Structure 1
Amino acid sequence: MRHVEEVMGTVVSIELADDLPESRLRSLIASTCAWLHEVDARFSTYQADSEVCRFRRGDLRLEECSADLRLVLDRCADLWRDTGGYFDAYAGGQLDPSGYVKGWSVEVASERLAAAGSTRHYIGAGGDIRMRGSGPGGRPWRVGVRHPWQADKLAWVLQLTDGAVATSGTYERGAHVWNPVSGAPATGLRSVTVVGPDLAVADAWATAALAMGEPGLSWLATLTGKGYESAAVTDDGRAFTSSGLPVTD
């Protein structure tokens, strides 16, 4: 069963390949969408009454925040340290955890689906995708990574059964990722894809590498020892992949 939902400023695609009654599949999709809308309402940086906006205005003290917001703040702090400051939820001057929240919310959605009995599913939110189990027909899920200059073409096609794919790039929204060390828009890399077991981590690391620019290529190479593979395209069109990237024809 497939479903498309507009939420968090993007389009989320949900596909369940489980052999379950239709009513059960519809219920699982409904609960997944409810969770994503809950995240949107809590973490939106555009809705004045969201928890994030109230916290950064000072209307909420940290101890008054939800467990989810405190968790996200802790994770963002960890990622800031892990990336040498290149993943920075305060890069724009005030708190904006969006670079972590989208991947995290989809990862949690997948965990919730698994706990509720869905062991074969796909959730895609823009460039952030989480797959669990096998796809339709028992085959692996296939994920196309968009060509960074030609929207109707693919740079790579990946094949996974369990795992996450996160892509960050400048080709759709322009210079929306900043290098927090230089204080200028990120340059050098046009697209970064990170593949691994946790979408929240993959999403944040793809964003951090993009912010680093070309030095991010060397940093991406270190992630293989942590169970994450990567692909990147530079601004001048050079392509790089790690040796374990699950590329298929």
Structure 2
Amino acid sequence: MGRATAVPALCAEAERLAAGLAARDGAQAGQVTLFMPNCPLAVTSLLGCLAAGYAPRLLDPRAALNDLKPQFADIEEGDLILTVDLSAVQDRLLSVLPEGSQPEVAVARFASQMPFPQRLFAPYLRGGTFSRVPAHTAFFRLDQLMGKSGQVASALSSESEIVVSSGACSLSALVEEAGEQAQKRQGERWLLDQPLTRRDSLVAALAAMRKGAELVLTPRLDGDSLKKVQAASKADLRVPGTR
């Protein structure tokens, strides 16, 4: 993304999100879906949902619409979707939300993930950003949902679950696999080359944080973009795998 974010800062934002989620009416009654490209916001949102006691579902905005529509078919009132204001992501979300559904949709500012100079030009970039949320009653800014760090005790446990593209998986299993992977990995800067919606991507991300490596995230995962990002970031390897 061009901007470095330390793990403690990620955790502090996750605590704020967890506090906001815990304060929602009917907390934990509905399903929480993360519909974000690879970016630090996706990591903080995931950690915040887990800390608030939810089993978040991760869906890839890059997936085919025919695959996404069935996954959104069960969205209903009381459910929450966390997303970003990239126009390409918003357009796809609006096209897969079932007609008449009334979930809440919290929209984060994608430009906040960029270094200051790039933020100024964010609205003009390919697939740029909205200056405000879509004109839809379900949408609001994620900022309105955030609470304060330390307001709630973390609900993380060995039974915490995450729903990824291959199904539900326990956080404890992911952490165990990440510990094993961290011992084998070499290099101090890793480029994640698959969506975070995959189990092996989450393991790789946790392994990088556990090893103290720098994890490079990019929302564009096509081959040409990955080559450019790896060269520009001087990443030691690409994970998952060592391609």
TM score, norm. by length of structure 1: 0.25
Q: Which has the higher contact order (CA 8 A, sep 6+)?
A: 2
- Which has the larger share of strand? 1
